[in-house]
Amino acid sequence: MTKICLATIAIIVVAISSPAIAAESVAVPKTALAVYAPKPKYPLFALMRHEEGAGIFVFRVEINSGRVKKVIVARSTGHKDLDAAALKAFKEWKFQPGAVASIKQIFPKSEDPLASEDGLVKLPIDFKIR
């Protein structure tokens, strides 16, 4: 048991100190409306498994405050851990108040009760290991 635990720790230490971590990148395009936009962190085990992927995420934003109310995966990156990292970061984003078009403006026939108060933002993301 102790040998297995030490081997696991050694693998994690090697993975953490490996140059692949310094070479990972997450490409998120600059969004003029975003005033706070932390980049997703590349998950350690995704790096170890050499997982890469591109996806599309849709934000539901409260127009008056710019606060992200919900994020959905419109197209997966192909890896659950990459999607989870993107969702975690994107939920913290904040947009310039009043700068996002309302759902009602985009979809005039929308029956969403908050269509006049909320807007949608679509954002692609690309996780790559160089």
Residue 130 pLDDT class (50, 70, 90 cuts)? confident
pLDDT tens per residue, range 65-98: 999 999 999 999 999 999 999 999 999 999 999 9
pLDDT tens per residue, range 9-56: 333 333 333 333 334 666 666 655 899 999 999 999 999 999 999 999
Contacts of 84 (CB under 8 A, 6+ apart): 43
CATH of the domain at 61: 3.30.2420.10
pLDDT for the residue 28: 61
pLDDT for the residue 32: 58
- Structural domain tally of the chain? 1
Closest alpha carbon to 127 in 46, 30, 15 = 46
**pTM of the predicted model as reported, rounded to 2 decimal places:** 0.76
Structural domain boundaries, residue 88: 2-129
Contact 35, 16 (CB under 8 A): no
